[in-house]
Structure 1
């Protein structure tokens, strides 16, 4: 989230990576291994939490496990805001990525320790590390190119292939180790993956040139001391709250999950209130931000359903699908690899489609398509759940079809939303808007984790049908209000 000051920092001349700066290979591999560790751990997290103690798990109820999973995802995206600030004002993107990778690896190693507390301590470290790494490594990719370079978009496309390559491979490795041998061995594999990422990042630092080497807007002198004092005060308050929960006996998994969910929503509301009441932004910018509020709500509703792939749908894969192939029962978490491989296949097709359609399909309409497709995926899941009533195992192709529909919805909404975020941003908040876009995922995941609690108490078919139809109806509503939203966007398509 660096400002424009560092955009276009030139890496050293020399060998190239698919015709791009050699530094792109360093960042590509770092992100690939980071996503390997993230999605590898995420693929088995809920399965480990819900597995019985006799099977090496924690024996947590499904409702609580789903809420933990959703809150964990929310915190990862919420921490992108302070992570971007630390890079911009204190460390610079390059050191932020390095320290983020080290902390992430430490978190996974902690989770590999076979004790009950290690999973939560490890997740806390991973959240902090990902907040430092995730937003700032993307900034460094942008720093490799001039802002108007025709290779810039192509460079990001290659970089994002690394994301999905890591996400595709990870569940195949950690899922087999975790489900077939030992859960903590699966977490250990994620740790090794992140260690590879850090090692090659350090070895490849000579390729990076000046990219991310310095803070974009560094705090100096008294301003730096004041900021560090405030950060220390916030940390102290958090420790006091934690101590209070411990002393009163309220320090439980459910209490922490509920508290973090509330924090995520309140931070988001406060962020929007700050921007919309800022007298320094113009009337046109304020109107565009009001349009963005609607897009933000649509995106949060999308992620609320979409990211249940690793929780509710993952449990369905473990308990209700026939995974026997020639006498081998493949791990349920392997189905988590379906999503990234479909994105790798579908992303170029989606880019071609939107290019052909041009401005004939507006941004709100694309969001509506994403919501409708996302809802239809849950309607299909309702049919799968109904087929599994009575204990029958259903074909895993049900889930493959569900993920295919969801990926089509994601490609309609996610890249479009990222583009809209940059176009609708007030000039004053341009460098912060990527963090705000991440907040949509954080809010959706946090609320989605709470919603997913219902999956244990409702019949599965009723659960999927209710929220599937709700998403479809929200998509229809988005279509109905497209003209009003486009009016607020003031000329932005």
Structure 2
């Protein structure tokens, strides 16, 4: 995107109107709020829907298989952001990508609301994967567009936006989770579809007035010749993939285990290729190449962090269901409610962190040091959750306050890393790859969950101390290493703070 285009966008967006921030933040805040309500509401009950017995309204899958599917599903959701970022950067812009993505997500949730088989489940998952790939990275990119490069409100704006994400994430497990777990899973999924419909409605009705030209420019448009070539390649690729799948499944080459391995490989290979392509592109300047090099260790740190944080919907969800005392203080706790803890703590403390970064100004920790703190707290959250087994053994039910503490500690790390990472991505992204770099940021989550799909099979109540200890310890060690290298990484950022 040219500098003149950026100036046109800033001039078209009302710069005051939402807690001292650009008015467009209102539109993006509530669009993402409802999208996250639909996603986290569905996710709060999905793993239980898969492994609960048919007599309880579930599909009766093996627990290990259900946990692996959840990780693979999460990986593909974030991996698809590459497709959404490319389409936005090269064909129709970020605003249209958000709209089309919302439509697909809503259709996916509607399918889940219809009682059926595992086949319907997988079709609905495919729709949500593609829709989230279009919507999630691009709505975050638009947040970056409504601020000028030197605007000190940017980090605080992303923290407010992040609070909106988590407000939806907090309410969804309580409302959708209660409806799905107490009455009927499909009613819960139906309510998630309604949430996405509300998000689309907010976006359509307010975008013209609040966002101006934000999201309307195509950053690196295809020429007519490139467009024909790209569509031809995409069509041939889809045809070849369909043929390979049709041959591989009956022959036994494509099994669930081999598919997990394939997604794990793609989770590492795709971001690696993207770094290489962006670094070698003639459209990338020398300063932008240096910033790409600085971005690599941040990406690796993000993978480690999300590998722990995302187990809140898999291993810790199963832990809540099977290992936790759910009758506590005169209240029966639904295992789905624990999914609200992470966003609840973010809602409470995101404003504190947003205020802190603004208050500190130039004295705040550098981006790499914020990331190192994120890894430290993530590791501690896993070390905390192994303590109940150490003190009480693997057979006794665990006081739910241990889970509460674990979720709290990882949230402290998340507030050091995630909103800062979103903001850093918009600052470090090469101009020709702005939306795709945001997709690359979400690929760190995809890579983390692809890795998780490989390792969740090692978790059992008997091995939980080793499981949590090894992963938590690895995160702490990586955080220390990142802290020691933070000065050199900051030098490669070429003025970005």
Larger displacement relative to structure 2 (164-173 or 183-192) = 183-192
Structure-1-length-normalised TM-score: 0.89
2:371 to 360, 363, 367: 367
1:187 to 186, 189, 195: 189
Shift of 1:12: 8.3
**What's the counterpart of residue 96 of structure 1?**
97
Larger displacement relative to structure 2 (161-170 or 380-389) = 380-389
Mapping 1:322-333, distance limit 5 Å: 322-325=325-328, 328-333=331-336
Distance of 1:88 and 1:410 partners within structure 2: 28
Distance of 1:290 and 1:6 partners within structure 2: 25
Mapping 1:412-431, distance limit 5 Å: 412-426=416-430, 429-430=433-434
**What's the counterpart of residue 84 of structure 1?**
85
Mapping 1:79-478, distance limit 5 Å: 79-116=80-117, 117-144=119-146, 155-207=157-209, 208-278=211-281, 285-325=288-328, 328-354=331-357, 355-356=359-360, 358-359=362-363, 361-387=365-391, 389-426=393-430, 429-430=433-434, 432-456=436-460, 459-478=463-482
Larger displacement relative to structure 2 (366-375 or 424-433) = 424-433
Distance of 1:323 and 1:310 partners within structure 2: 17
Cα distance change on mapping 1:254 and 1:191 into 2, 3 Å: farther
Alignment deviations for residues 161-215 of structure 1 (CA, whole Å, 9 cap, x no partner): 3211111100001111121112222212111211222233333355354433453
Cα distance change on mapping 1:8 and 1:389 into 2, 3 Å: farther
1:479 to 477, 483, 489: 483
Contact 1:112–1:118 (CA under 8 A) maintained in structure 2: no
Alignment length (residue pairs): 492
Shift of 1:479: 3.2
Contact 2:155–2:420 (CA under 8 A) maintained in structure 1: no
Shift of 1:110: 1.0
Larger displacement relative to structure 2 (368-377 or 306-315) = 368-377
SS at match of 2:459: helix
Larger displacement relative to structure 2 (36-45 or 282-291) = 282-291
Larger displacement relative to structure 2 (10-19 or 476-485) = 10-19
Cα distance change on mapping 1:317 and 1:210 into 2, 3 Å: same
Cα distance change on mapping 1:8 and 1:392 into 2, 3 Å: farther
Distance of 2:343 and 2:16 partners within structure 1: 29
Shift of 1:289: 3.2
Contact 2:28–2:139 (CA under 8 A) maintained in structure 1: yes
Structure-2-length-normalised TM-score: 0.89
Contact 2:422–2:441 (CA under 8 A) maintained in structure 1: yes
